[in-house]
């Protein structure tokens, strides 16, 4: 008889010992994210049937138009984490400032802060392209019992205790790491349960796909332009195939499974890069390194960058180790 896959709940209980210095809070955070993901997945799958697509009429702190689903997903994840009294602070790409979370007794005894992009790629929701949620968990720096401060959020990626993403596509998957490998769980919508479907995920050392918005080619640094020419040359296993969805979670997930490289470099239009260090790059870098890949800013490890502001942007080179190394060769020629 074929063995039934573990549920996410069973897996969390089994791996509780991986959560050092935790007495159950980290497991409860993952469980809360699991619940919020199911709620958002249900709403995403109803897009087009209910009034949930299109712009909300507001802009976030980055000056980007908020979609209705951005606002909805943000509220769902914040309320789910807040109501369970398991975190002391939350920072979201959709909020100007971080949110301090106090216990029902007014105390600040929780140990962890969560940072998230509640709905990455939401501009694609109107055209039925996969979108996702990205999250990152840190242990607070300030003393337990005191209010959370900005210092608790401005930590380098190496301090992460957990990170993951949820992709809402042909199926809904939750992929996460606690620093002991990467595992993926697929939602069975009939019964609302996530099952372990992708155990110990490892990215191939090299791949044949590159993901970048080539419409910005003229604005890229010379090192990136030269690397793209290399990708397109007919030699050996090249040319590579260009695959770019415009939704980080979708592009990252495909490359993680099949091998490839994702690039969002600096440009004359975005001199600091476009992706956010805390909400997108750090969690994805943690996952990628745990899966055997690399994540850099074109020169240095993403997870060594020390944040100076909540919504800081950074260039992002991420994927199969051999491909990232080759991109570095071209970047260093023009450093």
User: What is the residue extent of each domain of the chain?
Assistant: 8-198, 209-333
Average pLDDT over residues 262-283: 96
| Segment among 44-53, 75-84, 206-215, 224-233 with least mean pLDDT | 44-53
123 is in an annotated binding site: yes
The CATH fold assigned to 209-333 is D-Maltodextrin-Binding Protein; domain 2 (3.40.190)
Q: Using the structure block, give the residue that is written with the tokens 């689903």.
A: 69
Predicted confidence at residue 63, as pLDDT, reads 55
Mean pLDDT computed over every residue of the chain: 90
251 with 244: CB under 8 angstroms? Answer: yes
- pTM: predicted TM-score of the whole model, two decimal places: 0.93
274 is in an annotated binding site: yes
289 is in an annotated binding site: no
Tell whether the model's pLDDT for residue 109 goes beyond 80.
Answer: yes
Who contacts 10 (Cβ-Cβ below 8 Å, separation ≥6)? none
105 is in an annotated binding site: no
CA-atom Rg of the chain in angstroms = 19
Number of other CB atoms surrounding residue 139 within 10 Å: 18
121 is in an annotated binding site: yes
CA–CA distance, 220 with 244 (Å, rounded to integer): 16
The b/e string for 204-214 (b: 16+ C-beta within 10 A; e otherwise) is bebbbbbbbee
Predicted confidence at residue 21, as pLDDT, reads 58
Quick one: tokens of 35?
A: 């619940």
277 is in an annotated binding site: no
CA–CA distance, 282 with 292 (Å, rounded to integer): 15
Tell whether the model's pLDDT for residue 166 goes beyond 80.
Answer: yes
In three-state secondary structure terms, 208 is coil
Number of other CB atoms surrounding residue 149 within 10 Å: 14
Strand partners of residue 65: 59
Pick the CATH number of 8-198 from 3.40.640.10, 3.30.540.10, 3.40.50.300, 3.30.70.20: 3.30.540.10
153 with 310: CB under 8 angstroms? Answer: yes
How do residues 239-271 score in pLDDT, each as one tens digit?
999 999 999 999 999 999 999 999 999 999 999
Predicted confidence at residue 56, as pLDDT, reads 46
* Residue 78: φ, ψ to 5°: -65, -45
120 is in an annotated binding site: yes
244 is in an annotated binding site: yes
Number of other CB atoms surrounding residue 193 within 10 Å: 17
How do residues 151-165 score in pLDDT, each as one tens digit?
999 999 999 999 999
227 is in an annotated binding site: no
What's the burial of 150, exposed, middle or buried (CB within 10 Å: 0-12/13-18/19+)?
middle
Nearest to 297 by CA among 257, 266, 334: 266
Identify the residue with better confidence: 287 or 23: 287
9 is in an annotated binding site: no
């Amino acid at each position: 008889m074929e063995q039934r896959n573990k549920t996410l709940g069973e897996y969390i209980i089994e791996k509780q010992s991986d959560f050092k210095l935790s007495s159950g809070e980290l497991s409860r955070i993952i469980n809360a994210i699991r619940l919020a993901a199911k709620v958002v997945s249900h709403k995403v799958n109803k897009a087009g049937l209910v009034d949930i697509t299109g712009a909300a009429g507001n802009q976030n702190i980055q000056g980007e138009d908020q979609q209705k689903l951005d606002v909805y997903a943000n509220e769902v994840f914040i309320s789910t984490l807040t109501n369970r009294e398991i975190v002391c602070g939350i920072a979201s790409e959709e909020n100007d400032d971080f949110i301090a979370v106090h216990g029902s007794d007014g105390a600040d005894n929780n140990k962890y802060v969560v940072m998230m992009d509640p709905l990455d790629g939401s501009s694609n929701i109107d055209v039925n392209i996969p979108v996702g949620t990205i999250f990152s968990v840190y242990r607070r720096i300030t003393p337990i019992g005191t209010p959370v401060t900005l210092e608790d959020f401005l930590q380098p990626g190496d301090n992460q205790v957990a990170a993951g993403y949820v992709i809402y596509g042909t199926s809904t998957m939750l992929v996460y790491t606690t620093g002991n490998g990467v595992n993926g769980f697929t939602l069975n919508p009939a019964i609302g349960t996530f099952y372990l479907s992708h155990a110990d995920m490892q990215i191939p050392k090299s791949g044949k796909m590159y993901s970048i918005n080539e419409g910005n080619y003229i604005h890229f640094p010379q090192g990136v332009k030269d690397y793209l020419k290399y990708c397109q040359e007919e030699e050996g296993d090249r040319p590579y195939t260009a695959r770019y969805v415009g939704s980080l979670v979708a592009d990252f997930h495909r490359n993680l499974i099949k091998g490839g490289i994702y690039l969002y470099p600096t440009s004359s239009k975005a001199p600091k890069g476009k992706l956010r260090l805390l909400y997108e790059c750090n969690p994805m870098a943690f996952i990628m390194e745990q899966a055997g890949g690399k994540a850099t800013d074109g020169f240095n490890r993403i997870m060594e960058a020390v944040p100076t502001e909540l919504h800081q942007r950074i260039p992002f080179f991420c994927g199969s180790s051999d491909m990232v190394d080759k991109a570095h060769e071209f970047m260093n020629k023009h450093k």
